[in-house]
Chains A and B, each alone.
Chain A
Amino acid sequence: MYEKDGEKYYVVDAHVHIWDGRESNQKNVHGKQFIDCFYDYHRNLSPEEVVWDYDTYTYYGGQRLMKDVFEDGYADHAIFQATLLSDFYKTGFGQTEEAFGLASEHPDKLTYNHAYDPRNGEAGLEQLRRDAERMNLKGVKLYTAEWHGDSRGYKLDEPWSRRYLEECLELGIKNIHVHKGPTIRPLDRDAFDVADIDKVATDYLDLNFIVEHVGLPRLEDFCWIATQESNVYGGLAVAMPFVHARPKYFAQIIGELLYWLGEDKILFASDYALWTPKWLVEKFVDFQIPADLPEYAPITTAQKKKILGLNAAALYGLDVPAELRLPTDAGDAPAEVAAGARS
């Protein structure tokens, strides 16, 4: 919970990791390049006083996460999003078992989302069933751009992917987080392309599709699709730190998202440990659309409360204390057209 100026905010960090990018876990030079790239993101967009040293950044473990996200970071709840990258790291980049173990220890604080790859066919489906039961999955995180043998990515609307989505429906996995953002080596297949979200969102209305990184670097494509689908959400991971580094650009992103998606479909996320949530929460609560962007209405406190936690709480059925709720429920407004165009 975060409190400022008498207002109390229920905070859900909808995208956190425990990763191991240390040299000892790197399979090849790409493993080093990948963690170095993350570290550049971290250094480029963080305030100077919260920049970590490189060794801490490559591996920090569960206890540090608990401190940074919950003790210092104001989060009431956080959601692990799996990042496997098995081609780059010996035990994977995201430490799935460690994260799952931590979530099992703190079920009130942490939700663990696992991953699957539809290119694993029938065997992967079996694995998904076992994982769903063991891990009590409510969500998955998909990397459509991940390499897999000769394949340089897949689309959500391909036949095997559809079978997996149907299995998710069967298993009660409702929240499908999809990485559509800074790239992991796609080639001619444009893995940023969000068009596949459009197709499956229409076909699977009982699933929620959370587009991580709000489609950056193709914000407009994401907005255009999300505005036409009632079950498409935007995760702010990687967009959030612009609140400090490029506040005007952040204002434009939030302004566009509020116009196209509406206030019920935007989810706060730090992408920890890319960034720590503490300063992001503080700066977002203090943030306001600048006067030289009169095309956007000011962000209200209620909108900030929804974005910071209430929207994610609605998706994951989290029990929000009464004093932290809004008078009406967040996350249930229909949005068949541009949210801004309705008003």
Chain B
Amino acid sequence: MIAVASTSQSQSLSDRVLAALSAVTDPELDEPITDLGFVRSVRIENGNVTVHLRLPTSFCSPNFAYLMASDALDALRKVERIGDVVVQLDDHHDSDKINAGLAAEAGYVGTFGVEAEESLDELRRIFWVKAHTAAMERCAEQLLRSTEVTVDDLHLVTLADVPDGAHKEALLRRRVAVGLGVDPADRLVVDDEGQALAAADVPLRLRFAKSVRISMEGNAHFCRGLLATRYGSTA
């Protein structure tokens, strides 16, 4: 349940706050934290914003928990005409540590100290690559199912051949995230480095991409189910 103060002045700010939060994704699931129900509450008072986040279990990985909370903080700070911003993670076994780290702007290593060996950039990149792989598979599957394109043609298919829509938009976003081009002439089916594939290599690439997609979708089912179990009807 998202409770937003409804004075006329804060209404537009609340819209901007929710838009900012909806751009924050769970890195593993590649879905917005707002859709996943991870935003417990948003409170706006005199332009200052306090957001509470929650997760499906208290044992969700601290690195993912920290990523989402710090991403939310970063996103909110960019909101136009926003005052002080506080993000708090509730009911996590590292809540106190993460919340203190966020308030002190300590960063991941600063927050977890001896427990953390390095920053989370590499982890984040791993999941961006997975998200791109899954998005690519969705577009390829859509082409195979709804057009004359066959698996044998796929190595030549370009972004221009992919019909506009949610799948394509998601793909383009992910390509930007991992540093791939979005030129209409760029190939759709590529490896993790963005290189085009030989026709013979496409089926195995697609097969693997499919297991990536299934894995991510399944995890999202699991997380939504657990969140509902944990928080009941308010999830």
- Give the complex CA separation of A188 and B28 in angstroms: 14
Those of A7-53 within 8 Å (CB) of chain B? 29-30, 33-34, 36-37, 40-41, 43-45
Given A190-B123, A217-B215, A217-B219, A338 contacting B207 (CB threshold 8 A): yes
Would you call B195 an interface residue if the criterion is a C-beta within 8 Å of the partner chain's C-beta atoms?
no
Would you call A245 an interface residue if the criterion is a C-beta within 8 Å of the partner chain's C-beta atoms?
yes
Q: How far is the CB of A134 from chain B (nearest CB, A)?
A: 32
B93 contacts A259, C-beta separation under 8 Å = no
B93 contacts A33, C-beta separation under 8 Å = yes
Size of interface on B: residues with Cβ below 8 Å to A: 37
Contacts of A242 in B (CB 8 A): 218
Return the CB mask of A34-78 against B: 1 if under 8 Å, else 0: 101100110111000000000000000000000000000000000
Residue among B58, B112, B215, B230 making CB contact with A220, cutoff 8 Å: B215
A186 contacts B61, C-beta separation under 8 Å = yes
Contacts of A41 in B (CB 8 A): 226
Residue among B59, B120, B225 making CB contact with A183, cutoff 8 Å: B59
Would you call A196 an interface residue if the criterion is a C-beta within 8 Å of the partner chain's C-beta atoms?
no
A187 contacts B63, C-beta separation under 8 Å = yes
Contacts of A245 in B (CB 8 A): 225
Residue among B59, B118, B218 making CB contact with A185, cutoff 8 Å: B59
Number of A-B contacts (CB under 8 A): 101
Would you call A184 an interface residue if the criterion is a C-beta within 8 Å of the partner chain's C-beta atoms?
yes
Contacts of A253 in B (CB 8 A): 214, 218
- Give the complex CA separation of A280 and B117 in angstroms: 41
A36 contacts B211, C-beta separation under 8 Å = no
A216 contacts B218, C-beta separation under 8 Å = yes
- Give the complex CA separation of A182 and B117 in angstroms: 21
Binding site of A, secondary structure by majority: helix, strand, loop or mixed? helix
Q: How far is the CB of A189 from chain B (nearest CB, A)?
A: 7
A260 contacts B93, C-beta separation under 8 Å = no
B58 contacts A36, C-beta separation under 8 Å = yes
B208 contacts A220, C-beta separation under 8 Å = yes
- Give the complex CA separation of A256 and B218 in angstroms: 13
Return the CB mask of B202-235 against A: 1 if under 8 Å, else 0: 0010011011101101110110011011100000
Residue among B28, B114, B212, B217 making CB contact with A150, cutoff 8 Å: B114
Would you call A273 an interface residue if the criterion is a C-beta within 8 Å of the partner chain's C-beta atoms?
no
Closest chain A residue, CB of each to CB of B224: A44
Residue among B28, B62, B221, B226 making CB contact with A246, cutoff 8 Å: B221
Return the CB mask of A177-202 against B: 1 if under 8 Å, else 0: 00000111111111000000000000
Closest chain A residue, CB of each to CB of B133: A220
- Give the complex CA separation of A187 and B57 in angstroms: 16
B114 contacts A217, C-beta separation under 8 Å = no
B60 contacts A219, C-beta separation under 8 Å = no
Contacts of B116 in A (CB 8 A): 187-188
- Give the complex CA separation of A260 and B215 in angstroms: 14
B219 contacts A223, C-beta separation under 8 Å = no
- Give the complex CA separation of A187 and B98 in angstroms: 12
A186 contacts B63, C-beta separation under 8 Å = yes
A-B contact pairs, 24 of them (CB 8 A): A40-B230, A41-B226, A43-B229, A44-B225, A44-B229, A183-B60, A185-B62, A187-B112, A188-B63, A188-B118, A188-B120, A188-B123, A190-B63, A216-B215, A216-B222, A219-B211, A219-B214, A220-B211, A246-B221, A249-B217, A252-B218, A259-B207, A338-B204, A341-B204
